[in-house]
């Protein structure tokens, strides 16, 4: 199923509505796949042409590694996700969609990784959502 979810910076006020997949915290901590719901993405920032950092809910940060260059995401008024499921766990689960004047650009996601609080704090200026 493909379900596009538009993410705009104005949605940051909804960041308290985060949901996580069912399961105990212990099971999630041992699971190498750390999933997020694309519906709960509240903001984003482009780190470079192949890296986009997203905030999910109030304080979870994920890093999306893109398969090819996808420049100028920073200047976009929003981004969207096209995902096969409600929860994104790996790059194959989602495609990043960037609206442009001539039509949307689809950027394939290669990797999805949850950042530790220390990694999120160490993100370069302007790369932290």
pLDDT number for residue 77: 83
Residue 17 has pLDDT above 50, yes or no: no
Residue 28 has pLDDT above 60, yes or no: no
Q: What is the pLDDT of residues 50-99, one digit of tens each?
A: 999 999 998 899 999 999 999 888 888 889 999 888 889 988 888 999 99
Residue 16 has pLDDT above 60, yes or no: no
- Quickly list DSSP for 50-94: TEEEEEETTTEEEEEEESS--TT-TTSSEEEEEESSSEE-SGGGE
Q: In whole angstroms, how far apart are CA 29 and each of 24, 92, 119? A: 9, 22, 17
Average pLDDT, the chain: 78
Residue 12 has pLDDT above 50, yes or no: no
């Amino acid at each position: 199923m493909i379900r596009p979810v538009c993410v705009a910076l104005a949605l940051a006020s909804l960041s308290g509505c985060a949901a996580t997949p069912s399961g105990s915290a212990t099971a999630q901590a041992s699971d190498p796949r750390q999933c997020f719901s694309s519906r709960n993405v509240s903001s984003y920032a482009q780190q470079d042409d192949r890296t986009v950092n997203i905030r999910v809910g109030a304080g979870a940060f994920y890093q999306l590694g893109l398969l090819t260059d996808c420049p100028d995401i920073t200047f976009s008024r929003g981004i969207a996700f096209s995902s096969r499921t409600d929860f994104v766990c790996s790059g194959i689960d989602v495609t990043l969609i960037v609206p442009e004047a001539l039509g949307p650009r689809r950027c394939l996601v290669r990797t999805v990784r949850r950042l530790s609080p220390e990694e999120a704090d160490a993100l370069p200026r302007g790369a932290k959502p």
